[in-house]
Copies of this chain bind each other. A is one copy, B any other.
Amino acid sequence: MVKKEIRVIGIDDGPFNKFMDNQVLVVGVVMRGGLYVDGVLSAKSKVDGNDATNKIIKMINKCKFRPQLQCIFLSGIAVAGFNIIDIKELNKKTKIPVIVVIRKNPDIENIKNTLIKINQKNKIKFIENAGKVMQINDIFVQLAGINLEKARKILKIVCTRSLIPEPLRLAHIIAAGIATGESKGRA
């Protein structure tokens, strides 16, 4: 059984200009189920840097909602360009299950090739750590510290307004609205 008021966090980054910006806004929205917003967290991550995993771990572990959080949603496994999140490490250091939500089945070989091209092949291990891409309804997920059946139950509760979890939809809207002055597009 998953409670309707399960406390979760959805994390997404804002848009940025890769030629101008050094850091990117990362926003976390804490919700009870898919309806009530409890709080908003934020951090900054370096464009194409290596700090996303640690920044997100720190953002979550120091927040007052930490003891109640039952699930972390990510919108893909990277923020700020190729600042890739090691979801196994994120799960281990926060002790909270991680569900990565992706709209389209990603071309992982292509991403690995790009990382080699931009001289960041050390990040390929994070992509491997993210594990198998699985389909749930119309979205794709990668999981750490949670099985597919439990993930499916949580998604059923938090996807209140669209295909993707409401805390991710809001994190996207907020990060875009703050970074650019007006939110556009979708998570």
Near B by CB (< 8 A), chain A positions 168-187 give 170, 173-174, 176-178, 181-184
- A64-B178 CB under 8 A given contacts A37-B170, A39-B173, A173-B39: no
Q: Is the CB of B25 within 8 A of A183?
A: no
Q: Which single member of B40, B62, B182 contacts A174 (CB below 8 Å)?
A: B40
Interface size of A by CB at 8 A reads: 25
Interface flag for A27 (CB, 8 Å): yes
Give the shortest distance, in Å, between A97 (CB) and chain B (any CB): 22
Give the shortest distance, in Å, between A49 (CB) and chain B (any CB): 18
Interface flag for A159 (CB, 8 Å): no
Closest to A179 in B: B42
Interface flag for A116 (CB, 8 Å): no
Q: What is the CA–CA distance of A183 and B27 in the complex, to the nearest angstrom? A: 11
Interface flag for A3 (CB, 8 Å): no
Identify which of A43, A59, A170 gathers the most chain B CB atoms within 10 Å of its CB. A170
Q: Is the CB of A42 within 8 A of B181?
A: yes
Interface flag for A63 (CB, 8 Å): yes
Q: Is the CB of B173 within 8 A of A40?
A: yes
- A43-B181 CB under 8 A given contacts A36-B161, A161-B36: yes
Task: Kindly list chain B residues whose C-beta atoms are within 8 Å of the C-beta of A63.
Answer: 182
User: Interface residues, chain A, CB within 8 Å of chain B?
Assistant: 25, 27, 35-37, 39-43, 59, 62-64, 161, 170, 173-174, 176-178, 181-184
Query: Which 8 pairs across A and B sit closest by C-beta, in order of nearness?
Result: A40-B177, A39-B183, A40-B183, A42-B178, A40-B174, A40-B173, A41-B182, A178-B178
Contacts A/B (CB < 8 Å), 7 sampled: A25-B178, A37-B170, A39-B182, A40-B182, A42-B178, A43-B181, A178-B178
